A and B are shown apart, each in its own frame.
Chain A
Amino acid sequence: MKAALACGQHAHARWLHPGAWWIWALGLAAAASRTLNPMVLALIIAVAAVVVSARKPDAPWARSFVFFVKLGIAIIVIRVGIQILFAAALGTTTLFTLPSLALPSWMAGVRIGGTVTLESILIAFYDGLRLATIIICVGAANSLASPSRLLKSVPAALYEVGVSVVVALTFTPQLVADVTRVQSARHLRGRVTKGPRAIAGAAMPVLEGALERSVTLAAAMDSRGYGRRNTNSASQQRLSAALLIGGLVCACIGAYALVAAGSPWFLSTPMLAVGVIASLIAITWSAKSAIRSRYRPDPWWLPEWLVALSGVFAAGTFWVATWVVPFQMATPADPPTWPALPVLAVLGLAIALTPALVAPPLPEVFAVALQAEPHGNEVAA
């Protein structure tokens, strides 16, 4: 088998295909969406954190994991806060009572303050934790897979969109540098550097700079052959792009309907199928006309299969577990119960941990701290 050979051959340092990381992370997220067991959710977060710390490259975009964790905590706090303030109390274990606000009769059903029970807090907490876990899984993919490498793997029909996104991504740090520079300049003119007046004053030069740079960049990209086409006409190109985007939208709706309970049947599997078929047609169609080639595309070898499948496997075990042991997967809040530990789900998570070992190590430059600071723009430094 080629794949088996590849594993032996290519155990050396390289980037794992970003698609594999995303499949793995989305598998974990899908698993998280199937459970309301806080113990299991905490385990999922732990798995994501372990893999991130083992295989996270030292690049600016990879530092986002912490941000996603903070976002997750914020979500839990907000969810529980809303529950305490606005939602009607469930259960009987009263923790404390907030002064409640009498509302006019036309706002019947809305409640502010009042009794706060352990049960309702637990429900809110489990719910918030589930959403936070999904967000953290996405964060893990974000910091493991380079966004620009992922965009390099997008199909030819989406290539131009992909390049625009890459350019936008490289623009952001430059914009930040511009803001610093203009703020310094304001300081040099003895003006305020903070507050609304400073922002208004700085906006003009920063936007002007950004605009000028985008024109330069567009000229440079054009001179380097960006947008060269084969014989395919422009209208044909547009048609295939429209087909692809339409197809992807259909596929998204279908996938959502498949997961969400209570959606009409025709929105689920048929929609998904239509979407996938339309996208495939568009991709093969535009692949014929694109003359563009790819430099050192990320290969899809055994490690990619293992990483992706471990995520899918975890999602699968959770799916089965919700059928087999539904009460273990959703810890009841009323009455408050100590969460159980479903063996099947834990097994799935153990497998989902393997990418920390089977993913190839990163190229050395990214594994160690980058020594260099931007030399070119000392002013911005």
Chain B
Amino acid sequence: MAGATVLGRLTWQVATVDEVVEETPRVRTIVLAIPDWPGHRAGQHLDVRLTAEDGYRAEREYSIASAPGEPVAITVERLEDGEVSPYLCDELRPGDGLELRGPIGGYFVWDSRDGGPLLLVAGGSGVVPLRAMIRHRQRSGGKVPVRLLYSSRTLEDVIYRAELDQLGDDIEVVHTLTREQPTGWTGYARRVDAALLGEVAWPADDGVRAFVCGPTSFVEAVADGLVQLGYSPGRVKTERFGATGR
């Protein structure tokens, strides 16, 4: 049964790195060729496993950066004391193998048939699964209005900057730069809180679906802020990530 996937089971397999795209000085996108990929939904993630020569293993989850139907890609931020991300960011080259399993997750997922409007709120590399949703919205030809509020430390840290700058009018991107702003910056320059959400978010309405992804403290602040604005907690989907994993 070589290559067969047992129904309902998640099996480790070796993907091949097709391409590496440097997004920022600390972040790169890795495009993968995966022989046995069942397809994924926007917002899902996959697990990556590295095995050292002595058998020591480290696993991390990475959000899938590409839309359903596109080649699978992950976007990885290099963490200085990380066990996995320095290898993925510094060592991995096109043609290399990478052990992974997926797709995983059914909660932080958006399908074009789910409708909207969509409010996407990202802190740092929390933009990755939201970018998959934006691309899915574009590829499916949907008309759902999308607004992305994206918090970064500096302009240089903005992931997918060129792509986000070129989206159509019905996909609005609002940046806030919390640490340092370039000369002449006219955008927001403060942390996302209820007041900022009040200026940027869609008015609370039954149709609006909110997805919030970022570091834990960011996600908690945004989710609380949206509920203060009248969003129903059931319409605010959250995904928290940390600097470490198991």
- The yes or no verdict on A and B being binding partners is no
